[in-house]
Structures are given as structure tokens and as C-alpha cells.
Structure 1
């Protein structure tokens, strides 16, 4: 557990929000599990929504940038290989005992697109698409924005399928991803 109170609160929130969503986790549980006083909690996070926004920011860095994009870049030597490697990363993730699906999708569905947390989730999902679009541009694919939108459907669909119990969802999506790449080649 981190030493400073803000980091402890965020660490507990990361664990609970990624596993259980927003509405199932109360402020009192967050305070108790992080071992801080209520005043300390509210000094760092004036509302639960403020804490969820901090969680989403951390999730983007830890999961999207470091784990997915970072690992895909390590596993592939070309932009095309890196795109396909996203589904190798997903395949490993889907088999983990602590697989918790996508927090951005979960919070968007839980809170709705009109809620500020739903909108923040939409923004983070767009950032993921941006990473894909950048790789598509580097790979020289046609219509990289359209490609990224279609690719993102495969990513989100494989996550939902894995949540349903399909442990091969990443391999299935990767096969379709290969077809999508060929469709977007000049």
C-alpha cells in the first residue's frame, strides 16, 4: 500500500472500480479500505466522481499506454505486427484470473453517455482509437480513421466476448483483424 494518503485512496479505487464498477463501490468503503479519515479523502477528492476521473486517467496510463500499446510495440517489429499483437496482449489478459474487462466500456455502460463519467470514458475510448489510427498511418493503410473505428469494434467486441467466457475471443478477433488490414491496403 502506498505511503501517502492520495496514492492509497487511488490504489484502493483502482482495485475496486476496475473489478466492481462505480455504483457498487461506496465512499465509506473507499475510506475504510484506504485507511484515511473522511476529511482526508475529501481533501484529495472533493467527490466520488472526481476520484473516478482520477482512476480513469490512471487506467489509461497503466492499462492502455503501458500494457496494451507498450506490449504490442514490444511484440511486433512493424506497425502491422504491432496492430495484430494487440490481440496477443488481449489473449494473455483474457486468460488471467484477474481479467476484469474494460473499465472504460463498463463505466460508459454503467453511467450512460450523458453522465460526465460516461463522457470521460468515451474520451478515453477515443484515445485508444487514436493509438490504433497512428499505427494504421505508420503501416500506410488506407482511410486510417475508418480503419481505427472498425478495429476498435473488434477490440471492444473481443473484450465483451471474453467477459461472456470465450477465452479464444482474441484469436477470433485477430483473424478478422488480418482481413481488415488487407481490406485497407492500397
Structure 2
């Protein structure tokens, strides 16, 4: 059972890695699932056991990156708007190559989606919302 679980995880990682490598030279719309599978060394059936689409692969790649960053911010003992802004600038500076790649390969809206979802989670954890009506929130 453990071996099967390890194999499943390995295939999952192969697909993610292959997708991101293929996006070095192709746009997401040009990239086919077949190309990803060939690069990853897995079948199309294996791809679809793990993911619904190539866009889902990209979302899964960026979710822990943005999630971990915002978790680290929420764990700071002291945070104010200046510290928050400085941390954001530093983080996005470190992500510059990935953001350029996302823009050139046509999946920047996917990473924007991940970031906004993770940012909403961050604010839910770090903000008291009793005084805010839904539209202000």
C-alpha cells in the first residue's frame, strides 16, 4: 500500500514538474496534455487521474508558494502596514522570474487567482470582522 501511495505521489510530482518545464518554452494554450505526459513519462490516463486540466496543475504548483508566504506573514509577532508592504515587495521581487514566465506563457491570471484566494485566507486569520459589513469586508 505504501509503495502505491509513493508511486501516486511520484507521478503527481512528475506531472507538475513537466508542466512547469514545458511552460518555459510554450504558452499554456499551445501546450497539450500529450506533451506534458511525454515529458513526465506518464500516460494521459495517469494525468487525468491526478488533474482535471493543465490549468489545475499550474494552480497546484503555485498554491503552496503563495500559501506558505502568507502563513509566514500571519505568524509574525509584529505586523503593520509598512512591514506587510515590505514583505510583499520582497516576496514579489523573489518571484519576478516566475511572474514574467506566467505573463509570457499566458497563465498569469491563474497565479493571480491563487494569490487572491490565499490573501483572503490570510485576512480571515488575521482580521476581526465583527465591525465590517459584508460589502466593506
| Alignment CA distance shift 1:108-1:146 (3 Å) | farther
Per-residue CA deviations over 1:121-154 (Å, capped at 9, x if unaligned) read 675343143145347737xxx97x9999xxxxxx
Matched residue, 1:127:
117
Matched residue, 2:70:
69
Per-residue CA deviations over 1:78-100 (Å, capped at 9, x if unaligned) read 22155121212223333xxxx12
Shift of 1:26: 1.7
For the Cα contact (< 8 Å) 2:74–2:125, is it kept in 1? no
Q: CA–CA distance in 2 between the matches of 1:42 and 1:133?
A: 34
Where do residues 1-186 of structure 1 align in structure 2 (5 Å cutoff)?
4-17=10-23, 20-45=26-51, 49=53, 51-61=54-64, 63-66=65-68, 68-72=69-73, 77-80=77-80, 82-84=83-85, 85-94=87-96, 99-101=97-99, 103=102, 106-107=106-107, 123-131=113-121, 133-134=123-124, 137=127
Q: Normalising to structure 1: TM-score of the pair?
A: 0.46
| Alignment CA distance shift 1:132-1:36 (3 Å) | closer
Count of residues paired in the alignment:
123
Unaligned runs of 5+ in 2: 1-5
Give the match's secondary structure for 2:30.
coil
Q: In angstroms, what is the RMSD of aligned CA positions?
A: 4.1
Unaligned runs of 5+ in 1: 110-117, 149-186
Shift of 1:36: 1.6
Relative contact order (C-alpha < 8 Å, sep 6+): which is higher? 2
Give the match's secondary structure for 1:41.
helix
Give the match's secondary structure for 2:95.
helix
